[in-house]
Structure formats: structure tokens, C-alpha cells
Structure 1
Amino acid sequence: MITMSVLMIEAFYGGSHKQLLDLFQEEIKGCSVFTLPAKKWHWRARTAALYFMQTIPPSENYRVLFTSSVLNLAELVALRPDLAKLKKVLYFHENQLVYPVRKSQERDFQFGYNQVISCLVADVIVFNSAFNMESFLTSLGSFMKLIPDHRPRELEKLIRPKCQVLYFPIIFPDITRFLPAHKLGRDLLMTDIQDIEDGKADDGLMRNSFACLNPVPTAKQDTRNQEGLSNISDSLEDLNSIRRTEGTSAYHGEDMEHVAINPCSMLGGSGNLEENFSAQHMPLHIVWPHRWLEAVHCGCYPLCPKALVYPEIFPDVYLYSTPQQLFKRLQTFCKRPYLARRNAIKVDLARFSWVVLRGKFRSLLAAEAGEDL
């Protein structure tokens, strides 16, 4: 924990915007935070600068101004010249130049324009993904063509040198004792991530941490499995007592009175799931997570479109190109759930861990402008 004098402003304090500021307040000293509730997004983007102009008290202690791209930063520093001298950091959770709209003619020019002029006055511009950054920068030219005449030129050349990518940071809880053995890749162990930052392990550890596990679990893994089994034993006993109810059972033709749920099979700790009766008949749960960053950490198998930011995050094995491919994959998993359950997910979650990213964010929020992260 180090002391900083950071003025943090969030015009839409909700969702990931709130999560990021809350994390900063917990982990970084010296933050002065000013926010508006997360509602009426369009009004926040258009009028928040005037509100914060009146609300933020003058202070000689501010050194850095951090805000998301919802706020019109150019308007704020024009209204408050005392803030113009600060190191101004603009963070993009999303950008309005390519944000989905129902029809292209419905795109409201003013909100994208707010973000463009905010970038022009910012000292550092941070995007939460390379896709977010590139889609914004490469759309500047076509976006400015919406202006009827006297259009500004070469804005990308002015803005790009100030841009960088810092993934959204997440504090991943240690859930290894709840996971089956086959999902206990080294990428899920927070101790390894900590070792990398502390210099106790080489950088190659995380790159190689997603190799398939040895079929024979280590003693440490076996201990975790036993802990997980004991924690859910009561729930499994309840499952074993389920009886088939006329007209409501999803297990057609099976007498559930005689079906026992094998906890080892349920967790994938032992046995052949393909041949195990209970594993074959346990339903496949399909979720639509808004926080994928967290779902994969908890053992979910990702299945994403080969578009937008997803190829930047997920290997090809987890991507589909057409609706037909998605349907086929889901059909396969529904018929053979063990194919998804026994898969050790190979996604580099360390890139999104606060433990790994905190040094870069602290440098970002330090008073020195222009530091290469």
C-alpha cells in the first residue's frame, strides 16, 4: 500500500465501473472519489462534467485525475482549470464509436464525440482490451465523416501515442478446494501468481501453467479433493434421496429411487465419467455470464463467438464461427456432458489478476506523466 493523491471521478458508478473504483479504494491509499449513481447513462455522459465542476472541492494535493470515458473530460477541465494541470488518465470500459446500436442511423454522434475530445485532452488513455483500443482508433476516420463539412483530420495520429492496454483487474478468490482434480491447473493457484510478482518464479510459469495435469494427482491435490468432498457431502446425501415424481422427472424411464450420486464422479476425482451412470445423467448447466472473467476461474467451459474481443482472450478451441457450429458444440456437450466437465480449461487468467496487474495500475496512478508501463 502506497500513498497517492489521486482524484477519481466516475459518472456512472455501477457494474464494472464501480468494481474498478472500489478495488482502487481498497488497494491504493490517497484516493479522493466522486461519483454519480449508475442510471440515465445518456444524461450522465452529457451533464456530469457540470455537476462535478460544482461538487469537487479545490485541493492542492491532487496529482492525478482518473476517470472513465463516460465523463466528458474536456468539458470538466475547461470548467475547472485547476484540474487541467493534473496527470489526466482516461479509462475505456467500452467505446461509443462501435458500441452496438439497433440501426446505424440511430447512433448518436454526441456521445462518441465526447470520447474523442476527452482523448485529446487526456495525458494517458487506457483501454481494457486491444480490441477495444483498435476498434476505437481505427473508427475515428469514418466516425468523423459524419460531420457534414470542415472535418478534423488525422485524429488517430494525435491520440494513438497516448494509448495503452491494461486489462480489467480482478481479485480471484482461491476456490481450488471446491474444484475437481482435472480442473486444478496451476493457472488457478493464486500462490503461483504471487510468486511471479515477488520474483520467486520465472515468467514462463504462467505461460506453461495450462498444460494438462498428470492423471495421478499429487498429494496436495488429493488433499484439496478430500476437503471439497467433505464440504458437499451433506448436499450429495440430499441428492441421493431424490425420488422420481410422476410427470415431473427429467430422467425418463429411470427409477431415481435406486440412483446414487457418486461424489467422486460428480467432482471428476475418480472413475470413468463416460461409463458412470450418474455422470451421464446429470444435466449440463449452460450459463450466460456477464463476468466470464470469474466464470472460467470457477471451472466453467467457455464457448464464445470468434469475433469482437473473444479471440484476444480465448484459444481457438473455445470459439465458434457460425450459429451452426455453436449448435453442434452444444448438442455434443448435452449428449456427453463429461466432455466439458473433464476438460482442464486452458485460458490465461493471470493476465486479468490484480496480483499481476497492480504494479502497472499503481504506476499508472503515480504523478509522473508519460511513464512506459
Structure 2
Amino acid sequence: MENFCINGPKVLFIEPFYGGSHKELIDTLSGSLDERGIKYTLVTLSARKWHWRARCSALILCDRIPRISTQTVLFCSSVLNLAELLGLRPDLCGLKKIVYFHENQLIYPVQQIKDRDIQYAYNEITTRSSFLESIIKILKIFPDNKPMGIRERIEGKSEVLYFPVKFPLDIQMNLTSELEESILHIVWPHRWEFDKGPDDFFNVMLKLKQSKCKFKLSVLGQTYTDVSEIFNKTREELNDNIVHFGYVESKRKYLEVLNSSHIVVSTAKHEFFGVSIMEATYCGCLPLLPRDLVYPEIYPTECLYKDLEELYCMLEQFCLHPKSAVDLRSKLRFDFEKYSSEVLLPDYVNKLEINVDLRYIHTGVASGLLLLYQTLLCWVMVVVAVGGGGFIKPRAGVLLGRLRVLSKVFLKSSENRQ
């Protein structure tokens, strides 16, 4: 028998890939609930082999997720195959379900569309995708029985919420004279994976070195089990330029590296926000980004390049005149508040709609109310029997009637949830 507490957890967080921005989002949201005194349940898997997480996390997690007691909301990322989990755990079906899409696997870069794993696409179609244009292309791959009206059904349930970035309050944008006079410091703070375009980035860095440009380099970001050979190869060739190479565990030290850099570069092939770029820009870096993906939506045109040759030319000039990078960054205006967790978290919490819903009260409460009803009935019968019913009987009768109705409602609701 499960214990019930009216102040029990209200939200069930499920994250099969608990690392990077996925971890940061869950930690930010759960931290906000902590501040509000709202309890939650957190179920996670480590951030390894995301393809396997997308394929198998529902099966792995179905036995790890506790039985539902007071939770009313399920919040997960699109790495989880939610439809499959609900089939394995039908007791979760009664919860309000919110799926957050950090990215859109429908357009993950592949050489040919036939190479795309249609299962990932199907997962996204059947849960949530704010990238509705991609759905029709994926459905055309189906050999027959193409689902109809999918886009329209999803569109009505979709909404875009920017990632809530926790900007450091004790670190200010670094535009000091010391930075102006130093050697250009370039930072690349991304996951060490194919979709972040490391080959393109390092090829540009090697070209700068061959051109005798003076620069310093920090390569940050999280690594996983499979790391491209380009990282080890380039580390040897750029050894004299490297200041930092590898993941920085301390968030404080990570931000200090960003704060000491002139320029942050992205060569991503797949990006839908870019937390690390936003953090680096906040710390004072001038962002140089592809004129593609999400970047034109967020950053001014002065920060965008059309191809790798233009990126090289921009960096070459900044290597010759580091002060020009500082000057350009000082002139740019960014609305960081628009992406701040302080501004966005209330919207997230409102979407969770956390409240005590009588439909989700545990069966134990219904049983308790029924027992209370029976006890009071016996008490009233005794009082009436000894002659005290003139005042008590009509009022007790009203109370008992209400308790009886309420207990039946709870019992019926509990039975419907099984």
C-alpha cells in the first residue's frame, strides 16, 4: 500500500539524457519549484549514447518510475518515446503531459534522407514538434497508409518557449583595455560531436595558423564515448595556441574562460538555440555564427557569416586587430532579459498548471473518507440514541451526506485511473 501525502510531489520529471542543456533545463525548472515549495519526482538516465536512449529509454525507465500518487504533470524531453512509455505504464496516461524539444531530429544532418532513422521522426511526430515544416517531408517517406492531418493536430498543441538561461549575476561583460591589447582569444564551447561541425572549425583554425596569425584557442564543451579523431589530431598541430582543451567541470571556471575570450565561434550544422553561444555573448564574446539555423533569429547581421571562407577572413582581421573585436562587441545590443530564466520560468511553471486536482487524489484518501463517514454515522446514531439529536442530527446529517458523496467521487475517480 502506498503512502499518501497531500503535500506530495506534483510533477514527474523524466529525462533519459541527463547532461548538457537537457540537465541544465531540468535543474533550472526543478530549482524554481524548490523556491516555490513545490515537490517533484525526478527520474533520469546518464547522458550517454543518445541514439540508444531514444530507442530504449521507455523500456529501461518503466520499472524505475514510481507509482503515481500525487503527481498531476509529466514533463520530459523528446529523447523519450513517450507513446511507448505510456503503453508500458498506463497509470501515467491520466497525467498532463508536456514534452520539451531541445532540437528537431527531423532535420538532423544526414547525407541522404534514406539514411535518416524514421523511428526518431515518428517519435517526434507523435509527441510534439514546433518544426512543422519538416513533418510533411518525413511523411512522404512512408510507402503507404500515410497519416493525415498530423501537422494540423500538432500545431494546435505547440508553443515555442525559449530556453531559460541562468545568466551569472557576478560576471560582467569583459571589455577592458587588457582584453583590447592581448592576443585574440577564440573559444569553441560546444559538444564534441558531428553536428557541431568540429572539422569545419579546426580547418579554419589550421588555416589561420598556416597564415602566421597570432591567436589563442580554448576548446571547451562536453565529450561522450565517441570522439572524432579530429580533436586529437588538431590538439597536436595547434598545441602552441591552446589555452584550454576539454570539458571544464566547474561552471565558475567555465564562465571565466568565456569572460577572458574575444570571440566565440559556431560552425554548427544543427542548432535550435545555443546555450553556450548565449552565455559566451553575455560574458563579452563577439559571436561569429553561420547565417543559418536559429542564429539570424537571435543575433544581428554583423555576427553572421555566409560560409567558412568569410569566417576565415573575419577571424584573420580580428587576429591582426583584436581591439576591433572588442569595439564591435561593445556596439552590439542584445536583449538578454528575453532569454533569462528569471523572466521565462514563470511561463514554464504556468504551463505545468500545478494544483491539487481532486481527480488525482489517491485511493487511500477515498478509503479514509469512507471510514470517516462510517465512524461519524455510528457516532451520530449513539448521540441520537441517548437523546441529543435535536440540535446535532440535522447538521450531522448534512455533513455525513456531503462526506458520503465526496468519498464516492474519489473512489470512482480512483477506479477510472487504474
Q: TM-score band (shorter)?
A: 0.5 to 0.7
Q: Does 1:83 align with 2:92?
A: yes
* Partner SS for 1:296: helix
Residue 324 of structure 2 corresponds to 339
Cα 1:335–1:142 shift into 2, 3 Å: same
Secondary structure, in 3 states, of the residue corresponding to 1:350? Answer: helix
Using the TM superposition, give the Cα deviation of residue 267 of structure 1 relative to its aligned residue in structure 2, in angstroms: 5.1
1:167 aligns with 2:162: yes
User: Is 1:284 matched with 2:184?
Assistant: yes
Identity %: 45
- Determine whether 1:5 maps to 2:10: yes
- The alpha carbon displacement at 1:76 in A equals 1.3
Out of 333, 350, 357, the residue aligned to residue 337 of structure 2 is 350
Matches within 5 A, 1:145-164: 145-164=140-159
Equivalence for 1:17: 22
Letter in 1 for 2:339: F
Match of 1:27 in 2: 32
Q: Is the 8 A contact 1:49 1:75 kept in 2?
A: yes
Match of 1:60 in 2: 69
Distance in 2 (CA, whole Å) between partners of 1:19 and 1:25 is 10
The 3 A distance-change label for structure 1 pair 362 and 48 is same
8 Å contact kept, 1:141–1:154: no
* 1:52-80 C-alpha deviation (Å, 9 max, x unpaired): 22111212301100000000111111222
Secondary structure of the equivalent of 2:284?
A: coil
Check 1:178–1:297 CA distance in 2 against 1; reply closer, same or farther (3 A cut). closer
Deviations 1:154-196 (A, max 9, x none): 211010111111111111112455733xxxxxxxxxxxxxxxx
Distance 1:295 1:20 in 2: 18
Aligned position for 1:244: none
* Structure 1 vs Structure 2 CA RMSD: 2.0
Instruction: Return the letter of the residue paired with 2:178.
Output: M
Shift of 1:102: 3.9
SS of residue matched to 1:140: helix
Please tell me the residue identity of whatever aligns with 2:139. M
- The 3-state SS of whatever aligns with 1:54 is coil
Gaps of 5+ in 1: 120-124, 126-132, 181-263, 269-278, 369-373
Q: Which has the larger radius of gyration?
A: 2
> 2:173 and 2:47 mapped to 1: Cα distance?
34
Which amino acid in 1 is paired with 2:23? K
- TM-aligned CA deviation for residue 4 of structure 1: 6.3
CA distance in 2: counterparts of 1:331 and 1:17, whole angstroms: 35
In structure 2, relative to structure 1, the CA distance for the partners of 1:101 and 1:115 (3 Å cut) is: same
Output the CA distance in 2 between the equivalents of 1:161 and 1:179.
43
* Matched position secondary structure for 1:88: strand
Q: Is the 1:304–1:310 Cα contact (8 Å) retained in structure 2?
A: yes
Q: Give secondary structure in 2 for the equivalent of 1:139.
A: helix
Moved more, 94-103 or 307-316: 94-103
| Alignment match, 2:177 | 265
Per the alignment, residue 400 of structure 2 pairs with none
Aligned pair partner of 1:359 in 346, 356, 361: 346
Change (3 A) 1:312 1:53: same
Amino acid at match of 1:14: G
User: Given the alignment, which residue of 174, 178, 181 partners 1:179?
Assistant: 174
TM-score by length of 1: 0.65
**Residue 136 of structure 2 is aligned to residue 141 of structure 1:** yes
Are 2:104 and 1:95 aligned? yes
What is the correspondence of 1:40-59 to structure 2 with a 5 Å cutoff? 40-59=49-68
Contact (CA 8 Å) 2:30, 2:40: kept in 1 or not? Answer: yes
Write the distance in 2 (CA, Å) between the matches of 1:313 and 1:287: 19
Q: Helix, strand or coil for the counterpart of 1:286? A: strand
Q: Distance between the aligned counterparts of 1:353 and 1:4, measured in 2? A: 26
Give, in angstroms, the shift of residue 327 of structure 1. Answer: 2.3
Closer/same/farther in 2, CA of residues 176 and 18 from structure 1, 3 Å limit: closer
C-alpha separation in 1, matches of 2:29 and 2:39: 10
Question: Are the aligned partners of 1:87 and 1:367 in contact in 2 as well (CA < 8 Å)?
Answer: no
Q: What CA distance in whole angstroms lies between the structure 1 residues aligned with 2:335 and 2:112?
A: 36
List per-residue Cα deviations over 1:321-344 (Å, max 9, x = no partner).
233322222122111111111231
Q: Distance in 2 between matches of 1:267 and 1:333?
A: 13
Q: How far apart, in 2, do the equivalents of 1:55 and 1:62 lie?
A: 15
Take 1:287 and 1:267, find their aligned partners in 2: how far apart are those partners? 14
